[in-house]
Amino acid sequence: MGKTSKDKRDIYYRRAKEEGWRARSAFKLLQIDNECHILDGVNKAVDLCAAPGSWSQVLSRRLNENYKKELEAGNGIPPKIVAVDLQAMAPLEGVIQIQGDITNINTAKQIIAQFDNEQADLVVCDGAPDVTGLHDMDIYIQGSLLMAALNITTHILREGGTFVAKIFRAKDVDLLYAKLKIFFPYVYCTKPRSSRNSSIEAFVVCKDYSPPNGYTPHMLNPLLTHEAYNSSELEGINRVIVPFVVCGDLSQPDSDTCYPLDFEGKEYTYHDPVQTPIAPPYEEALALLENRDTDFRRSDVSVVVDNMNSMTI
């Protein structure tokens, strides 16, 4: 393949190099902004899954322009951009970088720590897993990245702020939209021209962050933490309790109680199981037990068989 063949095939790849963007993805964010005005007036932004950094470049350019306008109006504060990725990223002036996994609680805490006394106007996430080729698995992992990004967002985004994230438009995408709608009244799905038609990727633009009344962001989401989940720490709207229904009234036997064999007032008669296992896992052990030449100890085999027989389904 010639040096120029990719340039011929992909105009956005070519343009990215010409215009100094680190990746062709820059055009996706620029085109989303043209349509949805997500960068207007933004001063503090977080770029999740940012490497190699073209979205951070776009953010840096636009936030500095916003800053200049504010200075001209006499009240500007320097912009803040935090970029996060699993992979190391070459430095970008004015961009704070964190290397880590956004689904890991420690990374999430590092990002949140950057916004100790302040809040972000915008969180973007272009996260995509390394494609495994197992379609359903790739979609599931991408959805998990989106949920991890949303959870971090609930800690740092100001009310009224915007969240933009890559989403795979696949079978159960409605479930993801429904989760986003809990936090944002406006949820759009966009497909920039620079995103290939052959790709299932699209972008959700979620505006006007409005968490439910009484919602407190927390890190007890099992997706983000390996720490023990203590649901009693969650109260009010933060704790979802679903109805628990016991089937069968008190006259039914309790499955954890031992009853005498004549408990039901009838004389006890043993019955064989209706269907014995066709290929029980202990078959091999039984065969070894029968084999007198083996040095396998009889007592070892009986223990294994006893254990397996006592397993309940």
* Span of 8-16, 122-130, 257-265, 278-286 interacting with ligand SAM by CB under 6 A: 122-130
Read off φ and ψ for residue 4, nearest 5 degrees: -95, 0
Q: In the window 215-254, what residues touch ligand SAM (CB under 6 A)?
A: none
CB 24, min distance to ligand SAM, A: 8
Our finding on whether 25 is near ligand SAM (CB under 6 A) is: yes
By beta-carbon proximity to ligand SAM, the closer residue of 7 and 101 is: 101
Q: Which helix (H) or strand (E) holds 17?
A: helix 11-19
CB 168 within 8 A of CB 187: no
Which position among 12, 16, 22, 165 is part of the footprint of ligand SAM (CB under 6 A)? Answer: 22
**Helical axes 135-156 vs 173-183, angle rounded to 10°:** 0
* Span of 50-58, 213-221, 271-279, 284-292 interacting with ligand SAM by CB under 6 A: 50-58
Q: What is the dihedral of CA 9, 10, 11, 15, to 10 degrees?
A: -130
Residue span 63-82 as binding mask against ligand SAM, x where in contact by CB under 6 A, dash where not: --------------------
DSSP assigned state of 52: T
Our finding on whether 103 is near ligand SAM (CB under 6 A) is: yes
For 175, counting Cβ atoms within 10 Å of its Cβ (0-12 exposed, 13-18 middle, 19+ buried), the class is: exposed
DSSP string, 151-170: HHHHHHEEEEEEEEEEEE--
Our finding on whether 147 is near ligand SAM (CB under 6 A) is: no
Catalytic residue among 28, 44, 80, 166: 166
Number of residues that bind ligand SAM (CB under 6 A): 22
Our finding on whether 101 is near ligand SAM (CB under 6 A) is: yes
CB 52, min distance to ligand SAM, A: 5
DSSP assigned state of 207: E
Active-site residue 3, yes or no? Answer: no
DSSP 3-state of 244: coil
* Span of 74-82, 98-106, 180-188, 256-264 interacting with ligand SAM by CB under 6 A: 98-106
Strand 201-207 and strand 157-168: pairing? antiparallel
Our finding on whether 87 is near ligand SAM (CB under 6 A) is: yes
- Assigned token pair, 264: 């039901």
Cα angle: 72, vertex 75, 81; to 5 degrees: 95
Our finding on whether 127 is near ligand SAM (CB under 6 A) is: yes
Our finding on whether 54 is near ligand SAM (CB under 6 A) is: yes
- Assigned token pair, 282: 């202990």
Which position among 86, 170, 220, 304 is part of the footprint of ligand SAM (CB under 6 A)? Answer: 86
Which position among 33, 121, 126, 138 is part of the footprint of ligand SAM (CB under 6 A)? Answer: 126
**Whole-number CA gyration radius for the chain:** 29
Distance CA 31, CA 190 (A): 10
CB 82, min distance to ligand SAM, A: 13
Our finding on whether 31 is near ligand SAM (CB under 6 A) is: no
- Write down how long the chain is: 313
CB 131, min distance to ligand SAM, A: 11
Our finding on whether 152 is near ligand SAM (CB under 6 A) is: no
Read off φ and ψ for residue 18, nearest 5 degrees: -60, -40
**Contact residues for ligand SAM (CB under 6 A)?**
22-23, 25-26, 49-55, 85-87, 101-103, 126-129, 145
Catalytic positions: 166
